[in-house]
Structure 1
Amino acid sequence: MKIAIIGASGYAGGELIRLLVHHSAAKVTCATSRSLAGTPLDQIHPHLKGFTDLRFENPAIDDIDADVAFLAVPHTAAMTYAGKLLSRGIKVVDLSADYRLPKEVFEKVYGVPHTDYFPAPYGIPELHRKDCINARFVANPGCFPTGATLAAAPLAGYAHTVIFDSKTGVSGAGDNPSATTHYPNVGDNVGPYKWTSHRHLAEMKQELAFLGSKAKCYFTPHLVPVNRGILTTAHILLNEPLEQKEVEKIYTDFYKGEYFVRYQKPSLAAVRGSNFCDLMVESEGLRVVAVSAIDNLVKGASGQAIQNMNLMCGYPEKDGLAGAGMLP
């Protein structure tokens, strides 16, 4: 398969290329960047030197020749690409937020009109696999909602309230420097932000509702001084008490056969660079604490996008993604 990565200069684009090098059938043939056209790709992604001889290019949408296109572009930009690529028979995985939410919810949360809306499967394969298989287009979930939803999903129907508290690495903010990500402001520090109003909360509520839950949902993220990873603590308040053995059975049954979800003590180091979500739960009766760990750039972005591509195109789900984490 010929793969185009639209917006290939950022962290997500670099991760897509790094992972697709190991795919049995996919070859990246087009990597776009408006500002870097003509620049060798390995000048921006030096870890890929020797793995690709591509240069960034800036083709017109009608000139993109690919079987699958990944949209690794900012929010609101993907809607200018998706429909046009699909109309040419190119399958699309969108890593932005443009198609994760219903039109009216997106416009309320992001404060902009959606100019080319159409529904798309929400690409958490562990929950929406049937919708992603053979799909032409998939909306790749946000990083926070991936870790949070996987942490709470097995108990969603048992809960009246779910409170998510996430610690995220700095790479989640992208590769553009800012005061927020300036090292002296991040190092030796933990910083909560968007305490009650983070945009990803809408996706978390959407997925709890999909799972049949009427639970109230709250979310606060924190920035921590690490490069990669999201550790999410889900406080799940139950309608009726459940003992530890009951809860563990619910989780292990729910994720039975899921290669990328591992029931073990979560650690950012153990999932770093991988597409795995590690999680574990502890019950105190009416409250269950579920903790998950993912790499925000892999299971939280590019790895899950490739997992979705595999489902869309009929390849084994772990093709290109079977690598272990990078502990320590």
Structure 2
Amino acid sequence: MTHKTAILGASGYTGAELVRLIATHPGLEIAALSADRKAGMEMSEVYPHLRHMDLPVLKRIEELDFSEIDICFCALPHATSQAVISTLPASVKVVDLSADFRLRNLDVYEKWYGKPHSAPELQKEAVYGLTEFYREEIRGARLVAGTGCNAAAGQFSLIPAIKAGVIDLDEIIIDMKVGVSGAGRSLKENLLQAELGENWYAYGMGGKHRHLGEFDQEFSKAAGRPVEVQFTPTLVPASRGILAASYVRGDAVEIHAALQAAYADEPFICVLPFGQVPATKHVRATNFVHIGVVQERKAGRATIYTVLDNLTKGSSGQAVQNANLMLGHEETEGLMLSPVYP
């Protein structure tokens, strides 16, 4: 069965990535595309690399007819999805790629995003979209909240080790290198080539990065008690990709074994042989995650290295993976793409 699909916010990077993935998906048909400032334009005008595809013209959301839409992907700016999803027919399943429904506690949401949640009833039904840990809940969900790309990389690294009790929960440092597409497509001075080229810089330091809200929520749930990690993301002059290095106290062999056991049957997650380190180019433009564990020179210290593509597994690929479950397709449908290399 083919399901009719709408992509809201198709003119952004995650929207374009959704188009790329869904266009060749045997069970999904792109029936509607929205963009605010680009309304009335062809997708090929916004993204010339998609000119070979026969796609709907971009429209404003209020111009779309959702009566025959089966699933809607919301690749909208944060704080926009709450209002938009509230207006959609109850029959339409939704995968939201923004931060609007990631945090279950409304007070915590207000703390991190600086404003009250405007759709608390929808929040109650939202399922957190990290597929490998919420697979069964996602199958029956109407609304799935996609994770942050940084949050996904950190959780893939650490949740199995936390659940297995093989690391010290009070000594976790996550050092993350992030490609610039994670900042979106809007024009920003700090993202100009002259500013970013030959330049790395940390941001969201001192416990201020919003993805810490997701880490607190999911790590604490996995541990059964509060867990707060130290997290520093660094923007690097690469278009896409994330490399997370998680510094932990614990036996490296036991940590590696816990990760291997947790991901043994996962189609998209590969735990490398002990001591090997992954690279972002090995997962570029794919839904795959590579994880390596290294024993540090000091006994009882280990580093977990995790790479994923922020636009695919960190966002749009994860969204399609969730949609497959929600619609009854094979979970891997449309996602078994090999990396773009070199």
TM-score (norm 1): 0.95
For 1:246 and 1:167, locate their aligned partners in 2 and report how far apart those are by CA, in whole Å.
26
Shift of 1:213: 5.3
Match of 1:277 in 2: 289
> 2:140 corresponds to which residue?
134
Aligned match of 2:7: 5
Partner SS state of residue 180, structure 1: helix
1:245 Cα deviation from its structure 2 partner: 3.2
User: Who is 1:148 aligned against?
Assistant: 154
Secondary structure of the structure 2 residue equivalent to 1:28: strand
> What is the rounded CA distance, in whole Å, between the counterparts of 1:277 and 1:246 in structure 2?
20
Report the counterpart of residue 167 of structure 1 in structure 2.
177
Matched residue, 1:306: 320
CA 1:16 to 1:25, structure 2 compared with 1: closer, same or farther past 3 Å? Answer: same
Letter in 2 for 1:73: L
1:251 shift after superposition: 1.2
Q: What is residue 318 of structure 1 aligned with on the other side?
A: 332
Cα deviation code 1:215-236 (max 9, x no counterpart): 4311111010100001111112
8 Å CA contact 2:6–2:30 kept in 1: the answer is yes
Which digits, 9 at most, give the CA deviation of each residue in 1:253-280, with x for residues without a partner?
1111101111133111111100111111
Q: CA deviation at 1:61?
A: 7.3
- Per the alignment, residue 261 of structure 1 pairs with 269
Q: What's the counterpart of residue 93 of structure 2?
A: 91
When residues 200 and 59 of structure 1 are mapped into structure 2, their CA distance, relative to the original with a 3 A threshold, is closer
Could you tell me how far 1:166 is from its partner in structure 2? 0.6
Measured in 2, the distance between the counterparts of 1:326 and 1:154 equals 29
Unaligned runs of 5+ in 2: none
Hey, what does 1:179 align to over in structure 2? 189
Q: Does 1:225 align with 2:227?
A: no
Q: Is the partner of 2:300 in helix, strand or coil?
A: strand
* Corresponding residue for residue 290 of structure 1: 304
- 2:218 is aligned with 1:204: no
User: What does 1:10-89 correspond to in 2, within 5 Å?
Assistant: 10-60=12-62, 63-65=65-67, 66-85=69-88, 87-89=89-91
1:69 positional shift: 0.4
2:246 is aligned to 234
Letter in 2 for 1:251: L
Q: TM-score, with normalisation over the residues of structure 2?
A: 0.91
Task: Report if aligned partners of 2:35, 2:61 keep a CA contact under 8 Å in 1.
Answer: no
Letter matched to residue 253 of structure 1: A
Q: Deviations over 1:270-318 (max 9, x none)?
A: 1110011111112344222101001100011100000010111111111
Give the Cα–Cα distance (whole angstroms) in 1 for the partners of residues 152 and 242 of structure 2: 10
Q: Which of 236, 245, 255 is matched with 2:253 structurally?
A: 245
For residues 65 and 57 of structure 2, the distance between their equivalents in structure 1, rounded to whole angstroms, comes to 16
The answer to whether the 8 Å contact 2:95/2:143 transfers is yes
C-alpha distance in structure 1 between counterparts of 2:80 and 2:255, whole Å: 42
Instruction: Give the distance between the partners of 2:294 and 2:160, measured in 1 at CA.
Output: 13
Paired with 1:99 and 1:61, the residues of 2 have a C-alpha distance of: 25
Provide Cα deviations, 1:103-143, integer angstroms capped at 9, x if missing partner: 11111100011111222111111111111112111000000
Deviation at 1:24, TM superposition (A): 1.2
- For 2:308 and 2:15, the matched residues in 1 are separated by 18
Distance across 2 between alignment mates of 1:318 and 1:22? 13
Identify unmatched segments of 5+ residues in structure 1.
none
**Structure 2 letter corresponding to 1:183:** Q
